[in-house]
Amino acid sequence: MLEGRRSAVLTYEQAEFKQQQGAAVEVKALATDDTCSLRRLLSHPEVNPHILFRSGPASQQASVDKLVQRMMYTYDPCALHAGIYLLGLPQLLGTVSLQNWNRREGTATLGYMLDPACWGCGLATEAVGLLLDYGVREAGVTRVEGRCRGDNTRSERVMIKNGMLLERQMPVVGSPGDVMKVYALVTQMK
């Protein structure tokens, strides 16, 4: 479990995300120049099914466009989206976010995606760790949930390596035999 000190409890005004740097990646605010890279990443055939499988009847392209708009240009007081970059390089490799962020309760849902060319290198694990640490130490998050389909072992490993524990499994509506695994990290604040 992560332990941290809660600064002032944040209210719902816009949160200013401070760039976080690790050994191989940096996590920082998305830039306008990242729009095309984000659209390409969300449309990637290996990423898209994990991101948009609950998007409903809209076309895949409409769902991607809506998500790009929300992540890049819409102020959402209940979400913090950040880009994942290799240290010192400008190319967006993925995103990591706190979604459904309830600042009063200190809860959030973890979201992340990474370019498949970078899978298996530990970059998602490091980026998620940086955001979780920021969430606990700076944003007052005390409980984070992460979810993945039952067959997404890469995503499971990212959460497990960051101290998250399997909390429950739920059936995926409309996909007989498929399950959604829910992992949680509960922090102790001093």
CATH number at residue 14: 3.40.630.30
Measured CA to CA, the distance from residue 156 to residue 172 in angstroms comes to: 17
Measured CA to CA, the distance from residue 167 to residue 19 in angstroms comes to: 30
> What is the β-pairing status of strands 20-21 and 3-4?
unpaired
Name the 3-class secondary structure at 120.
Answer: coil
Of residues 125 and 71, more confidence is placed in 125
As to burial, measured by CB atoms within 10 angstroms (0-12 exposed, 13-18 middle, 19+ buried), residue 80 is buried
pLDDT value at residue 6: 39
Which residue range(s) make up the domain with 182?
A: 3-189
Query: Is residue 83 predicted with pLDDT exceeding 50?
Result: yes
Total structural domains within the chain: 1
- Tell me the whole-structure pTM to 2 decimals: 0.85
pLDDT value at residue 173: 80
Query: Is residue 183 predicted with pLDDT exceeding 70?
Result: yes
